[in-house]
């Protein structure tokens, strides 16, 4: 039996995803998130892939913690239509693959403010959330800025807690939640652990990605200078204590698995990608062990 929270990895979604999962299974990952960023290309047919992935999971004693489909369903054009179609297809694939969570972007009305996007959010997400609830599924919004701010953006409005409040008030269904990670919040200078004191119950899936924030750079240059003050890091190399993060998630009632999100670390990338992910896997399992020893 896998100890909770389960720890796995995000697998870039494409036609060879089942083959990649089979190759990674020997390294001790416990779960997978096949993820399809629509910004970078079309999503391949999911249902044929879902059956193959389910078989591999059964063979290896692993499971799919979530699917990931990252488009902009609030867009009024073809991009939005395709994003909504992919989300509906993901619900079918989730049932086939045996997962209850679909990670995604909430979307955003292009170049509108977050408050100006709320009505469109209500219009698009009410029927999707209702269908998900009927099918025993849930959508989890990733907290990534995608370059946006409160005032303007073109891809994802769900990147900070003031937006989450507006969204969950607009569509008050528990089939909508968060795909949370500390890195995005740290880059906004938000304390991720303090945030979990309030938001852990809405966390349905966790991306294992951390950050280094250079407070010395901020003290001199602030946040709007060309001087970079933050880097996304693989867990174990960032500023966060993941034992504490796990404690707050579990204490808050979250049952979310953690999927390491690679391909961002400035050191462990390219030929060193797997090295970094395996270091993160070992670190997170050690954090989980410490958490279980500290629990009353």
Domain, as residue range, for 162: 7-294
Measured CA distances, 264 to 157, 170, 209, 211, 246 (Å): 21, 33, 8, 10, 22
pLDDT at 2: 67
pLDDT computed for residue 295 by the predictor: 61
Whether residue 290 lies inside any domain: the answer is yes
Q: Which of 66, 24, 63, 8 is nearest to 208 (CA)?
A: 8
Angle at 43 between CA 37 and CA 46, to 5 degrees: 120
- Calpha distance 27→24 (Å, rounded): 6
Within a domain: residue 22?
yes
Are the CB atoms for 229 and 213 separated by under 8 Å?
A: yes
In a domain, 1, yes or no: no
Q: What is the pTM of this model?
A: 0.96
Distance from C-alpha of 225 to C-alpha of 185, rounded to nearest angstrom: 19
Polymer length of the chain = 296
Whether 32 maps to a domain, the answer reads yes
The predicted pLDDT at position 162 comes to: 98
pLDDT for 187: 97
Asked if residue 192 belongs to a domain, the reply is: yes
Spatial distance between the Cα atoms of 220 and 207, rounded to a whole number of angstroms: 31
pLDDT of residue 3: 72
Report the DSSP beta bridge partners of residue 212. 231
Residue 1 has what pLDDT?
A: 60
pLDDT score, position 129: 99
| Residue 2 within a domain | no
Count the domains in the chain: 1
Specify if 224 maps to a domain. Answer: yes
pLDDT for 15: 76
What distance in Å separates the CA atoms of residue 138 and residue 13, rounded to the nearest whole number? 20
Low-confidence ranges of the chain (pLDDT < 50): none
Is 163 a domain residue? yes
Q: Tell me the CATH number at 212.
A: 3.20.20.150
């Amino acid at each position: 039996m896998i100890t909770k929270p389960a720890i796995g990895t995000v697998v870039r979604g494409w036609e060879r995803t089942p083959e990649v999962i089979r190759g990674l299974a020997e390294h001790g990952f416990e779960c997978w998130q096949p993820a399809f960023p629509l910004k970078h290309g079309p999503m391949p047919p999911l249902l044929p892939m879902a059956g193959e992935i389910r078989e591999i999971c059964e063979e290896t004693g692993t499971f799919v913690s979530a699917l990931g489909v990252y488009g902009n369903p609030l867009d009024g054009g073809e991009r939005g239509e395709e994003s909504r179609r992919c989300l509906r297809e993901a619900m079918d694939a989730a049932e086939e693959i045996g997962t209850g969570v679909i990670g995604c972007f909430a979307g955003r009305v292009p170049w509108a403010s977050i408050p100006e996007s709320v009505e469109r959010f209500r219009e698009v997400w009410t029927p999707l959330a209702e269908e998900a609830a009927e099918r025993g599924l849930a959508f989890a919004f990733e907290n990534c800025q995608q370059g946006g701010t409160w005032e303007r953006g073109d891809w994802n409005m769900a990147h900070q807690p003031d937006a989450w409040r507006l969204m969950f008030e607009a569509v008050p269904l528990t089939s909508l939640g968060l795909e949370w990670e500390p890195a995005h919040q740290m880059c906004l200078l938000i304390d991720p652990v303090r945030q979990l004191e309030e938001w852990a119950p809405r966390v349905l899936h966790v991306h294992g990605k951390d950050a280094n924030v250079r407070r010395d750079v901020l003290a001199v240059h602030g946040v709007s200078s060309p001087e970079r003050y933050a880097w996304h890091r693989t867990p174990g190399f960032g500023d966060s204590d993941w034992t504490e993060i796990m404690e707050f998630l579990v204490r808050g009632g979250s049952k979310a698995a953690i999927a390491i999100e690679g391909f961002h670390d400035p050191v462990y990338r390219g030929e060193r990608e797997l090295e970094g992910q395996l270091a993160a896997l070992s670190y997170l399992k050690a954090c989980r062990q410490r958490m279980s020893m500290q629990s009353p």
